[in-house]
Structure 1
Amino acid sequence: MKRMKALVCCAAAACLAMVLAGCSSQQSYTPPEKSATVSSPAIGKSGTLRVGVNAGSPPLAGSPSSSSKIVGIDVDVAAALADQLGLKLEIVDVGTDPEAALKEGKVDVAMGIGSEIEVSFWRSPAYLPKGVALFSTPANATVPTKASSPKIAAQVSSTSSWQVTNEFGQDALVSENDLKSAFAALADGSAQYVAADAVIGMYAAHSGGYDAQIVALMQQPGGYCVGVLEANTELQAAVKDALAALTDGGIVSVIEKKWLGTDIDASSLPLTTGASSAKTDESKTSGDESDGGENAPAAEGDEEGNVESNAGRNAVQPTA
């Protein structure tokens, strides 16, 4: 009987060794190719989704100092979007004129379109929140009022600095050259809050190693959307369904956490008195954010943490 038990144990050990050996030799999982859900004429290039981004707007899209490759939140969302549609991805830098790129047929869709600006093309539901937010340290969750005489750091000549002086007065503004300096002022106590676009500010805090959180929005919340030509109803429907699947499935949240350290739920954030009592002045919010666009930290990223997708592996980088 003891001999029989020994034989059984030896056989089990041998099987386990074979399994472990097989596991160690396996390659990483590669998702299967998906069938394309849209084709020409809804897209201009067979099997490929051409996506326009502004490569000068980190963390949405930008190039690390060590590479010409465009990376960012919009690029990752675009890769996931293309994958959801069963297409390869081609990134196109359209600068600050996505409308012209869409009309001229250079791209099929454009990323990072603000919900508050006037455009002549269709916009999807927002995939990221947009609006000036107030950041503070985890120890301070108080929403400031004008009567509390807060000190709020913001980048000089930015939309955020205008929002601060408009609601809290000139004495409340701690003017800084860039967002890094603004968050440094928060860290050393010379400011109680930082005002910045929600996404751009969270990226600046996360990449700079500052422990900060959003305590309130200074505007009615808007969002970053995907743009498609008004007449292209087939692609509009496909993009809308794909974005809903990515949002509901948690993919967009994963991308946010990669770049921002957290995902932002604008619907759960309180509003300052000024935001509660008036709608956003669109003439002032167009072009936001000076404190993110030209002086945001450069978009740094690597392949680690990118959402795995067929589109991401086959992305073309970039075209003018």
Structure 2
Amino acid sequence: MKTIDPAMIASFAPTGTLRVGINLGNPILANEDPATQQPQGVTIDIAHEIGKRTGLPIELIPFKTAGNTVDAVKNGDVDLVFVAIDPVRGADISYTPAYIQIEGAYMVKSNSPIKKNEQVDVAGNEIVVGKGSAYDLYLTREIKSAAILRAASSQAVVDDFMSGKGNVAAGVKQQLESDAKRYQGLRMLPGRFMEINQAIGIPKARPQYQKTTVYLTEVITQLKQSGFIAQAMQRHHIEGAKVAD
């Protein structure tokens, strides 16, 4: 096994335990096991593999939203997170290359006159999106004419939408489709409005963050090439996402 620089490990996990922020707001990455209430999913499998390779004990710290997960790594409360690559977050977070690509999609009421993505960014339209999510950050940059209404979390988007907020819902395609099963009279717009690259992120505030990022890049590249990521996605029944190139 490759020898790991002790100074890098001390920078990576200063408490001696690798504290991993788990975003439960994206079901493709992680969710709670209904029987044990413990996090499970692709990101948990990757976290344990990193722990095994570094020899560090792992502490999984779950968060309900991506925004809370990002705040925790910025504040130094966790050492590693699995979140979408975004230039705004990149001011404080150093990313590996992507390991999974996910589609962001729109949903409307069945009787909506909106038929395609290009019709969404129009004055008078209101898009409901999870506050602080990758979709929120993206739409905040890209939407010029429609208004953006922020739900407390990605899981709350469809409920807010059905309670009368907005006329378009935005988020992870699978999350919207899953939540929509609780209601009638909804339809997805065809295609996607964005493709989201999910990566490992670590705080730039750490002294050896660049060296740590290089190390984690090597790990994630190996896990993609070996089939580890694809097998984890299959094991956790993940659809609508793909292993990143």
TM-score, normalised to structure 1, is 0.46
Select which of 205, 210, 217 maps to 2:177: 205
Counterpart in 2 of 1:110?
81
In the alignment, the residues of structure 2 paired with residue 214 and residue 78 of structure 1 have an alpha-carbon distance, to the nearest angstrom, of 34
Does residue 1:123 correspond to 2:95, yes or no? yes
Counterpart in 2 of 1:261?
238
Select which of 50, 54, 59 maps to 1:81: 50
In the alignment, the residues of structure 1 paired with residue 105 and residue 192 of structure 2 have an alpha-carbon distance, to the nearest angstrom, of 4
* Secondary structure of the structure 2 residue equivalent to 1:101: coil
In the alignment, the residues of structure 2 paired with residue 203 and residue 145 of structure 1 have an alpha-carbon distance, to the nearest angstrom, of 22
Counterpart in 2 of 1:231?
208
Call closer, same or farther: CA 1:64–1:87 in 2, change over 3 Å. Answer: same
* Secondary structure of the structure 2 residue equivalent to 1:38: coil
* Secondary structure of the structure 2 residue equivalent to 1:145: helix
Q: What displacement does 1:124 show?
A: 1.1
Call closer, same or farther: CA 1:204–1:218 in 2, change over 3 Å. Answer: closer
Post-superposition CA distance 1:172-217 (Å, at most 9, x none): x9x9x94555999xxxxxx9x8531x3xx3245358779x988433
Select which of 175, 192, 206 maps to 1:217: 192
Q: Which amino acid aligns with 1:251?
A: F
Q: What displacement does 1:261 show?
A: 3.0
Structure 2, unpaired ranges of 5+: 63-68, 109-114
Q: Which amino acid aligns with 2:42?
A: I
Call closer, same or farther: CA 1:111–1:215 in 2, change over 3 Å. Answer: same
Asked whether the 8 Å contact 1:50–1:90 carries over to 2, the reply is: yes
Select which of 30, 36, 57 maps to 2:25: 57
Counterpart in 1 of 2:118?
145
In the alignment, the residues of structure 1 paired with residue 243 and residue 188 of structure 2 have an alpha-carbon distance, to the nearest angstrom, of 12
* Secondary structure of the structure 2 residue equivalent to 1:43: helix
* Secondary structure of the structure 2 residue equivalent to 1:98: helix
* Secondary structure of the structure 2 residue equivalent to 1:126: coil
Asked whether the 8 Å contact 1:113–1:227 carries over to 2, the reply is: no
Asked whether the 8 Å contact 2:30–2:42 carries over to 1, the reply is: yes
Asked whether the 8 Å contact 2:30–2:40 carries over to 1, the reply is: yes
Q: Which amino acid aligns with 1:38?
A: I
Call closer, same or farther: CA 1:36–1:239 in 2, change over 3 Å. Answer: same
Report % sequence identity. 8
Q: What displacement does 1:90 show?
A: 0.3
Call closer, same or farther: CA 1:67–1:204 in 2, change over 3 Å. Answer: farther
Q: Which amino acid aligns with 1:242?
A: V
Counterpart in 1 of 2:223?
246
Q: Which amino acid aligns with 2:47?
A: A
Asked whether the 8 Å contact 2:103–2:196 carries over to 1, the reply is: yes
Select which of 64, 69, 73 maps to 2:38: 69
In the alignment, the residues of structure 1 paired with residue 131 and residue 56 of structure 2 have an alpha-carbon distance, to the nearest angstrom, of 40
* Secondary structure of the structure 2 residue equivalent to 1:262: coil
In the alignment, the residues of structure 1 paired with residue 234 and residue 161 of structure 2 have an alpha-carbon distance, to the nearest angstrom, of 19
Asked whether the 8 Å contact 1:145–1:168 carries over to 2, the reply is: no
Please tell me whether Structure 1 or Structure 2 has the larger radius of gyration of its CA atoms: 1
* Secondary structure of the structure 2 residue equivalent to 1:247: helix
- Give matches, 1:7-18, under 5 Å: none
Q: What displacement does 1:98 show?
A: 0.8
TM-score, normalised to structure 2, is 0.57
